[in-house]
Structure 1
């Protein structure tokens, strides 16, 4: 009697960033036949030109700032002269060496990811892919290539994880030398004399903060009343104050009309006619999804007006056999969300147990100095809830009264929690602090597991510690028997 072999489920993943990588790895571990198509390198922009190098640059800037502000705890980072004043710095910033390290580290991370995929049995194809209907991807060795050397990869399930690219304006075209996108910053060999950052969203704020602490004069052009529009207003206020305290010039309610290159730098012309001169300009005006020319419309995949792929809570598109993950979708543009989408898509496609993604549980972080971490319900949600928002209570505690913060010289920041007035269930939180990204986890767990403020306050925090402020806030929100009416 002949043996009948069941054919493996074939999965084709287009894009090797966090979403595509997680999808490919999960699928291979679950026994599927997996092909990953990537044009630049495994890890995608997140590893090669975005998250890994940018956060590494920011960490370096933090180290520089720690040295610079060490005097407040009694450590001199300078050689004193006869009058006790500094005569020269004891440290210098070598941006060429920093950027060389960042790029090498990103490359090493990409190589590690390749090895993980290969060990799991994933076939990796280098090239440019586009959909050929709902169950196939055509791959060319170069973008826009015509001819017969396309490789057609058929699949039962297709995962799209093609990411996004910096948005470019016709009036401020990046040249890679003076007018830059965030991907081009790593070609700089020295700290800019005067960096003008156009855009005060997350990307603009993070790089403005980093380069100011690396020693550059920085001007941040913000079209809004406050930096970081859309973020918690108390948190944004702390960051803007920190920016100005560091010597950064923040131009609020100022829209950049155009950016022109001069012989020695750039001129940014504002909509009110003012001109700002600098040595370099970083354009941080958002991103656009890499969805053009992928054959999405022909395959029946629905897109938003902005070109993002519409997906549901299991990362499925309007076409049953096609899923999407990451910045190319209409979900949160976070690497952690992309990874979760990639894993969820595979679990759903293979019929495994899957928990739909709940964006209310997503923790995010802005890597300024100090950092801003948020999770769950926030002030915008309270306003949008209207009358229903009255059942939500909030308490905020400044870090300046925390004993650990005093010891290490932290003067700015806070912990804020939102909870149900009647039940005490924790609905969200905001932390502004150095390494806030490391402090938000207990709040994330509380939101995920619907813990009450009393349950959280029963936990023992180390004394002294910054995390004890989380416990202090939860205790302040104690719900008395019968409710806090």
Structure 2
């Protein structure tokens, strides 16, 4: 049994773990990365963000080609299989793994593969795939172990027709029809993806509305366009049972409905990866969903053990996890952090069309009794959108009636996750530079999607004059 001591041990090589490890290593600390998977990158690279977004991108391009009157003059609509689309996604994953592996090599951070378990507050035992065991000690630890799909005990995920959002990436055929149980971010994205492939989709939502954390207008727009593309959405439904056989799968709902499909994708929740890590003995017990409680500096009940990313729950975003990792590393290095993480974290949802927002919603402002007004720019009126044919969508600015301070940016449509960052940058400025006036008095390239900010600003300003 080998023993080694480090300044810090990072568990999990996703965005959060990478951010922490690189910050510590570049500051001269001895760091080791522990990764259970055979390649670095974490769930973000291998099962979540990268594969699903690469898959979505190519399907959107196929949809654009098939719906174009211009390309119809060149030939008939084209059809590609799910397997073909996934082959490209795997190429992107390989590129990401290669890039991230070089980070660790270049910064002299050893990557050890295996499952880690705490023996005491400063010691972990690492069980390697080769059935070797080693003990490592450290002054500090960063838990960035991520999450996995939530699997209820009464759902048989061993059946090849019942899949979670990790297993769906290994599906070896294109189903004719699919049931997606759970209409959160993952379920909504996969509903768009498979409908874009021509698969009939039943989307089961256990709640009153789609993605209720979004601004109502954006949520309503998503529901409308999913239905327009042919997705059948059923709200306020709960499962009563799932039965699969050689020919398909049947979902029984508590409302009495019975839905039949070729495949069922279970997309209802996530669980933190904290199993068998010995955390309970350290008074760092995970909750019922495997998540770890931390303070504002990402410290657990053991101050030298930090937790970041999906394993602490909200906001469960790769972008936020990376920032949390760097923040935690700074706190380890200096005992404090002289910068605060952004209060308003942008949300990107890669449905078709995509959604992105930052700041507060109309509902939140109304509840807080903040006097606000709205400015709209509809993509159908923007020359760049007309040129590209991507005319579905809008940019929505929320601002204070008296000061014109930007309070929320909400975008629905092509490139929404890119467009939102322009508004985010201005909204983050100190007063009085964070107002609608910036967009009214700035010259934008023409034609661009960014011009929508000027259109929306003028639209809103005219409402308060």
Larger mean CA deviation between 228-237 and 121-130 belongs to: 228-237
Deviation at 1:218, TM superposition (A): 1.1
The corresponding residue for 2:456 is 473
The corresponding residue for 2:316 is 333
The corresponding residue for 1:56 is 54
How many residue pairs match? The answer is: 456
TM-score by structure 1 length?
0.88
Structure 1 residue 76 corresponds to structure 2 residue 76:
no
- Unpaired runs of 5+ residues, structure 2, are none
Q: What does 1:39-50 align with in structure 2 at a 5 Å threshold?
A: 39-40=36-37, 41-50=39-48
CA distance in 2, matches of 1:468, 1:379: 23
The corresponding residue for 2:126 is 139
Rate the CA distance shift 1:24–1:211 in 2: closer, same or farther, 3 A.
same
Contact 2:66/2:77, CA 8 A, preserved across alignment: no
Rate the CA distance shift 1:383–1:48 in 2: closer, same or farther, 3 A.
same
Q: Out of 203, 213, 234, which is 2:186 matched to? A: 203
The corresponding residue for 2:424 is 444
The corresponding residue for 2:33 is 36
Structure 1 residue 109 corresponds to structure 2 residue 93:
no
Deviation at 1:90, TM superposition (A): 4.4
Contact 1:422/1:479, CA 8 A, preserved across alignment: no
CA distance in 2, matches of 1:478, 1:240: 29
Q: Out of 363, 370, 373, which is 1:393 matched to? A: 373
Contact 1:424/1:479, CA 8 A, preserved across alignment: no
Deviation at 1:479, TM superposition (A): 9.8
The corresponding residue for 1:454 is 437
Deviation at 1:198, TM superposition (A): 0.8
Deviation at 1:469, TM superposition (A): 1.3
The corresponding residue for 1:272 is 255
Structure 1 residue 412 corresponds to structure 2 residue 396:
no
Structure 1 residue 240 corresponds to structure 2 residue 223:
yes
CA distance in 1, matches of 2:378, 2:384: 12
Contact 1:15/1:39, CA 8 A, preserved across alignment: yes
Rate the CA distance shift 1:475–1:98 in 2: closer, same or farther, 3 A.
same
Structure 1 residue 362 corresponds to structure 2 residue 350:
no
Deviation at 1:77, TM superposition (A): 6.2
The corresponding residue for 1:321 is 304
CA distance in 1, matches of 2:278, 2:192: 40
Q: What does 1:126-165 align with in structure 2 at a 5 Å threshold?
A: 126-142=113-129, 149-165=132-148
CA distance in 2, matches of 1:155, 1:475: 57
TM-score by structure 2 length?
0.92
Deviation at 1:313, TM superposition (A): 3.4
Q: CA RMSD in A?
A: 2.3
- Unpaired runs of 5+ residues, structure 1, are 1-7, 80-88
Q: Secondary structure at the residue paired with 2:311?
A: coil
Contact 2:7/2:139, CA 8 A, preserved across alignment: yes
CA distance in 1, matches of 2:77, 2:413: 27
CA distance in 2, matches of 1:292, 1:251: 34
